[in-house]
């Protein structure tokens, strides 16, 4: 491994801001939906007292192993996607929690470990799974997907305007053998993309799209958000850090809709005061990393944090 390939240490994004937004109470119960390498979880544990509890989810076996190394009795690790939050809390006998933190996207170790196949910086097996113990790899999916389906995925998840050309190029390339490595895919995309934004590799959007798709990241997010609100006690905080416009759009719309009274048919004979109250109250505006954080950690530049608080119980 040369100097350019040395993995960067994982730097937790918006650490202080997220912890302040959670408003951690010493005896509270909290959920970290994306343990990663434990940056946010460690900070939560530092603010918890002996009676506090933290339940941390992650699909990545390596992340779970890192969490076990902490050896903290207040920490419960769950090797599952965070969409299982409601079921897992039920199994653990946890009725309500005081806060949920979701730090979306991939961690630096996942990007920097060549064998994970998430980056075109290395020529490695085309895997991209967050959970390497189960599920289909990107290479397996590309071997059987139709041109139409590949086009949809690359266009919809990567916002790639050359999606159809890329899909056709992949289909042509696989007639000569499987597209099995990141280097192969990056080269195929580079030839198919006619122009690209300055400073961006032609394969960036395609790799992003395939990773989001194979891990069902947007679907997982859509499923977990209502579960988070259902499990939050009054005054409990939901803190979400997004790194992609599609993720942030889902979070923004969900929090906005949950902070407003339900929309009912215009002629329904019901007074505004009789409507069920909103379940969430928005806390502040969307927050982005300060210039100093972006300078120290360029991967934080696209981060957006949104915060909402659980309102009083529904009528």
Answer with the residue of higher pLDDT: 110 or 313: 110
pLDDT band at 315; cut points 50, 70, 90: very low
Residue 12: the pLDDT is 87
Q: Which residues of 256-290 are buried (b: 16+ CB within 10 A; e: fewer)?
A: eebbeeeeeeeeeeeeeeeeeebbbbbbeeebbbe
- Break the chain down into helix, strand, coil percent, rounded to 5: 45, 15, 40
Instruction: Report domain extents, the chain.
Output: 3-108+217-310, 132-214
Q: Does domain 3-108+217-310 bear CATH number 3.40.50.150?
A: yes
Q: 10 Å Cβ neighbour count for 132? A: 17
Maximum pairwise Cα distance, the chain: 71
CB 20 within 8 Å of CB 43: no
Answer with the residue of higher pLDDT: 162 or 275: 162
Q: How big is the chain, counted in residues? A: 315
Q: What CATH class has 132-214?
A: mainly alpha
Terminal CA-to-CA distance of the chain, rounded, Å? 61
Tokens of 272: 């505004």
pLDDT tens digits, one per residue of 196-253: 777 788 999 999 999 999 999 999 999 999 999 999 999 999 999 999 999 999 999 9
pLDDT band at 7; cut points 50, 70, 90: very low
Residue 239: the pLDDT is 98
Mean residue pLDDT of the chain comes to: 90
CA distance 29 to 131: 26
Q: Which of 241, 315, 305, 303 is nearest to 279 (CA)?
A: 315
Answer with the residue of higher pLDDT: 263 or 142: 142
CB 147 within 8 Å of CB 171: yes
Residue 262: the pLDDT is 67
């Amino acid at each position: 491994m040369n100097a350019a390939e040395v993995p960067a240490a994982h730097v937790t994004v918006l650490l202080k801001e997220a912890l302040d937004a959670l408003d951690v109470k010493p005896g509270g119960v909290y959920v970290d939906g994306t343990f990663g390498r434990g940056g946010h979880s460690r900070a939560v544990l530092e603010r918890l007292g002996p009676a506090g509890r933290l339940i941390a989810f992650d699909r990545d076996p390596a992340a779970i192993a890192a969490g076990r190394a902490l050896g903290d009795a207040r920490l419960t690790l769950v090797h599952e996607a965070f969409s299982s939050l409601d079921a897992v809390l039920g199994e653990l006998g946890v009725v309500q929690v005081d806060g949920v933190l979701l730090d979306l996207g991939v961690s630096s170790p996942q990007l920097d470990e060549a064998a994970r196949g998430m980056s075109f910086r290395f020529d490695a097996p085309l895997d991209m799974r967050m959970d390497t113990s189960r599920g289909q790899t990107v290479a397996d999916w590309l071997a059987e997907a139709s041109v139409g389906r590949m086009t949809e995925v690359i266009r919809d998840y990567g916002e790639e305007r050359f999606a159809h050309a890329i899909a056709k190029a992949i289909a042509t390339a696989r007639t000569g053998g499987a597209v099995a490595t990141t280097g192969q895919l990056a080269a195929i995309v580079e030839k198919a993309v006619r122009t690209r934004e300055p400073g961006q590799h032609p394969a960036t959007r395609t790799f992003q799209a395939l990773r989001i798709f194979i891990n069902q990241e947007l679907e997982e997010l859509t499923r977990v958000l209502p579960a988070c609100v259902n499990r939050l006690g009054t005054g409990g905080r939901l803190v979400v850090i997004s790194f992609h416009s599609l993720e942030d759009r889902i979070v923004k719309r969900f929090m906005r809709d949950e902070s407003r009274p339900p929309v009912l048919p215009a002629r329904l004979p019901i007074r505004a005061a009789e409507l069920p109250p909103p379940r969430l109250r928005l806390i502040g505006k969307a927050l982005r990393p300060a210039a100093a954080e972006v300078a120290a950690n360029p991967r934080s530049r696209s981060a957006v944090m949104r915060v909402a608080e659980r309102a009083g119980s529904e009528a």
